[in-house]
Structure 1
Amino acid sequence: MNDQPLFARLLNYIEKYQLPLILGLLGVVFIGLGFLGPKISQPKKEEIVLESTKETEGKNIKVDVSGAVKNPGVYSLDEAARVSDAIAAAGGFSLEVDPNWVAKNVNLAAKLTDGQKLYVNTLADASSNTSTQILGTQTANSTININTASEETLDTLPGVGPVTAEKIISGRPYQKTEDLLNRKIVGQATYEKIKDKISVY
Structure 2
Amino acid sequence: MNWRKNKLFKKILRQAAKFQTSIILALIGTALIGAGLSASNIFKNSAQPQFVPAEQNMSNDEKIVIDISGAIKNPGIYKLESGSRVDDAIRKAGGLSKDADRAWISKNINLAGKLVDAQKIYIPKEGESGSVSGVSQGSTNNISSKININTATEAELDSLPGIGEVRTGKIIANRPYSSIEELVTKKVLGEGTFEKIKSQITTN
Aligned to 1:131: 129
TM-score by length of 2: 0.61
**Conservation of the 8 A alpha-carbon contact between 1:70 and 1:93:** yes
- Which segments of 5 or more consecutive residues in structure 2 lack a partner in the other structure? none
- Identify, as 1 or 2, the structure richer in helix: 2
Determine the structure 2 residue equivalent to 1:24: 19
Cα contact 1:65–1:86 (8 A) shared by 2: yes
8 A contact 1:154–1:165 mirrored in 2: no
How many residues align? The count is 186
Q: Bigger CA drift: 30-39 or 107-116? A: 30-39
Determine which of 179, 185, 190 is the counterpart of 1:186: 190
Q: Could you say what secondary structure the match of 1:117 adopts? A: strand
After superposition, the C-alpha distances for 1:21-74 in whole angstroms (9 at most, x for unaligned) are 22222345467779999999958738345245342552523x221222111112
Aligned residue number for residue 84 of structure 2:
81
- Do structure 1's residue 198 and structure 2's residue 193 form an aligned pair? no
Larger radius of gyration: 1
Correspondence 1:2-151 to 2 at 5 A: 13-29=8-24, 45=42, 47-48=45-46, 49-52=49-52, 53-55=57-59, 57-61=61-65, 63-123=66-126, 125=127, 130-133=128-131, 135-136=132-133, 139=140, 140-142=142-144, 143=146, 146=149
Matched, 1:163 2:158: no
- Give the Cα–Cα distance (whole angstroms) in 1 for the partners of residues 5 and 177 of structure 2: 105
Tell me the C-alpha RMSD between the 2 structures: 4.5
Q: TM-score, normalised by structure 1?
A: 0.62
Superposition deviation, residue 120 in structure 1: 1.5
Percent of aligned positions that are identical = 29
Deviations 1:101-149 (A, max 9, x none): 23222211112234433222223x2xxxx3334x347943355565x56
| Partner SS, residue 195 of structure 1 | helix
